[in-house]
Structure 1
């Protein structure tokens, strides 16, 4: 029997927001239960500290820097109609490779990988899509920055009333039940916009005209609203898990939950510092919960294995036995050996760059090299998760070696285009240090 896959992505969730990662509010009983029956990865990272680049990496299983659109941080409004700023249809993707393997593929939720007519979910391997094309949209008006609804259904403009998080969850439940009825293996990308701004909850029950005018409303929101948004997403995930159980598909379904980047202003990233848009740990370290009763050797374990977003693309393709096109290679590394043997870990170098503040980083074992503008840092992350004790002067040889390793990697990927746009909405000053 083929394994089904559900890849769940939260938007701007902090590392410690969930109970199973030390969260202080009871917002995630369903995700906590999945972790208790599966695994948590405590050294997991996103491919980028901002949304779209991470999604490019998830789709391709490669560093996002190979795709022009991933240099936009995040993709700005000028991406609309731009033939260069998006996920090119000719690129092999996770859904396209699984589709070739006989899987039904669906994206329920956020796309944010380029606009029509040049790009779209169905052009990159998804057989079904319901959700917004852009990044943040309002949870009741479903609009982006004062425009009309940004929602689509299978390539056509479509909208229906309701709280967006619940609409995604209910669609996912229906999708799971439909696949059980037709007995076709599936890969579902369930990409929530929660808990990304605008900060709205189910209890509001109606469109907020102020949010329709300005969905970013960076003077709005609060911790309680943010936590409620996480809880409502968690409830929906519980509905999906129950649908899998009712249809006899739970044991045979590989579920991954993560975030596209580190948290924003209301997130709990403890003990990490920084957040979205920064290559400090708070901007890139994210939760990874894996639930797969049929294929995992143990349950309820916490893995120290280092990993990043594109590694889970490689893992899914590995489990499915999907073939890559001739000459095509992934940058992602399969985590299947660790899932089958929790005591097994291996060295996993991970690289990042951001045009915003000319940031670059390399995590190698317990050490991290970080450069922000002209300032260089060397941190032992295992002993100093808050990145407060700069070892650059104490260990100059290691600093030189890690700088050289980073530069050797950077020489292999395309440079950031000079005209790439950077959003300055998010700044470190907005991030709590706790």
Structure 2
């Protein structure tokens, strides 16, 4: 690499740390009197990068999400902010690196706490959209802290139906197993009991929400499914639900069951999109679909390696689809690098707003790219994960990765499977990215001994045979 190339790479890294240059590319996305768009943000849980037909899945079909991609733009290099669920959700709702908040350090949040959660005073996507006149609703998974201190109604949502924690059984709606475990299903802040497969319940509630909307009153609907997160239960598997002895369901599941779970998710989303169309609101509604982290044990992530809890590409690369009829040209496939925290500045720009200046976004406003007003640009993105002492930074096509005591440098565009370690061939790039990660890390909250983490260990998953039962290898 020449000195000129090194300096160029260094400039890209430094320019990425504050809100990026394109964040204010459009002073106001709503030129003179344009109607504000509705927003439906659909988040899957633990969906693999290649788990949709349009991304390469061939074992089962996802016609509704494939059609959504055909009608809009599909990103091939989209990332989650973390390799685990609640951490990504902090970044998604705040538009900032999750490591700026104590709750965002958890991998993931588990159990009630008066201190671990999203502070109600922190600006969020729904609270900022409310200032732009939006009605806001969350249907599905919250996972950003428990009552009475934290909750969606305290952080910008007008209404909520769903679960506060990280996972619930699809039939009992309990976060664990046994008669003494209480259901985690709420209407606002009040526990409720409903019968049905959870994916279907969430879709039905979303259809009801859409049917109540009227043109001219913009809304944000955050539709955050738990599918296809474990336990491994398809819509016809209530008998399995009655017989599991652990919510992690380590002794269950198979590819066929996983396929039914994803197909059920796709069908549920299809019903929501059909309701939007029937209501006459589809034309002016931005629909976004993505996942909170990479795939789990039955997911398809080809050609990537790694999975949830790992900073290999398979643990953080996710599908991402955007449809906005009349504004976003249909049939597009974009290689723009994107990440969860980009959606806040992007959607605020579409609504005519902007992030709170006291809490500037670490993400990039992608609206100019979505609208065809700007070309793809190189990014620098950074991650860390406590289990296995993982570090990662992607700058341009380069990626520095550390797992335990092993360090790597990959060209992740040319070498998607992260096999060819180029650290010795390009020592200057390796050193520069490693140093940049360390500089960035000092700006984030420290990872302390009390921070919870979760890794996949050898006793649980055979292909992780080198990882001890603690789920972590030493740094």
How much does 1:324 deviate? 3.5
The residue number in structure 2 matching 1:311 is 342
1:58 aligns with 2:89: no
How far off its partner does 1:153 sit?
0.3
**Counterparts in 2 of 1:49-198, with a 5 A limit?**
49-77=83-111, 80=112, 82-146=113-177, 147-180=181-214, 183-198=216-231
The alpha carbon displacement at 1:313 in A equals: 1.5
What are structure 1's unaligned runs of at least 5 residues? Answer: none
Cα 1:128–1:426 change in 2 (3 A) is: farther
Contact 1:50 1:277 in 2 (8 A): yes
**8 A contact 2:89–2:292 mirrored in 1:** yes
Q: Which residue number corresponds to residue 60 of structure 2?
A: 26
Q: Would the aligned equivalents of 2:75 and 2:335 in 1 still touch at CA under 8 Å?
A: yes
The equivalent residue for 2:77 is 43
Q: Deviations over 1:346-402 (max 9, x none)?
A: 121110001111111011111101011221100001110000000001111110111
2:294 maps to 1:256: no
Conserved in 1, the CA contact under 8 Å of 2:345 and 2:355? no
Partner of 2:381: 350
Residues 1:420 and 2:454 are matched in the alignment:
no
Alignment correspondent of 1:363? 394
Which residue of the partner structure matches residue 236 of structure 2?
203
Contact 2:88 2:340 in 1 (8 A): yes
Classify the secondary structure of the residue corresponding to 1:257.
Answer: strand
Alpha carbons of structure 1 residues 222 and 143: separation in structure 2 relative to 1, 3 Å: same
Q: For 2:322 and 2:273, locate their aligned partners in 1 and report how far apart those are by CA, in whole Å.
A: 13
Structure 2: distance between partners of 1:158 and 1:363: 44
Deviation at 1:216, TM superposition (A): 1.2
Partner in structure 2 of residue 329 of structure 1: 360
- The TM-score with structure 1 as length reference comes to 0.95
Alpha-carbon deviation of 1:294? Answer: 2.9
Report if aligned partners of 2:90, 2:118 keep a CA contact under 8 Å in 1.
yes
Preserved contact between residue 71 and residue 417 of structure 1 (Cα < 8 Å): no
How many Å separate the matches in 1 of 2:293 and 2:194? 28
Is the 8 Å Cα contact of residues 73 and 332 (structure 2) preserved in structure 1?
yes
For normalisation by structure 2, the TM-score amounts to 0.87
Instruction: Sort the Cα spacing of 1:427 and 1:66 in 2 relative to 1 into closer, same or farther, 3 A.
Output: farther
Counterpart pick for 1:219 among 244, 248, 251: 251
Instruction: Give 1:431 deviation, angstroms.
Output: 8.3
Aligned residues of 1:6 and 1:256 also touching (Cα < 8 A): yes
For the residue of structure 2 that corresponds to 1:142, the secondary structure is: coil
1:210 is displaced (CA, Å) by 2.2
Relative distance call for 1:414 and 1:317 in structure 2 (3 A) is same
Cα displacement (A) at 1:289: 0.7
Residues 209, 124 of structure 1: alpha-carbon distance in 2 compared, 3 angstrom cutoff: same
Cα deviations across residues 273-300 of structure 1 (Å, max 9, x unaligned)? 010000000000000011111321x211
1:199-254 CA-partner distances (Å, limit 9, x unpaired) = 1111235683223x422121101100101110011001111111111111101000
Q: CA shift at 1:321, angstroms?
A: 1.5
Whole-angstrom CA distance in 2 between matches of 1:135 and 1:426: 20
Give 1:190 deviation, angstroms: 0.4
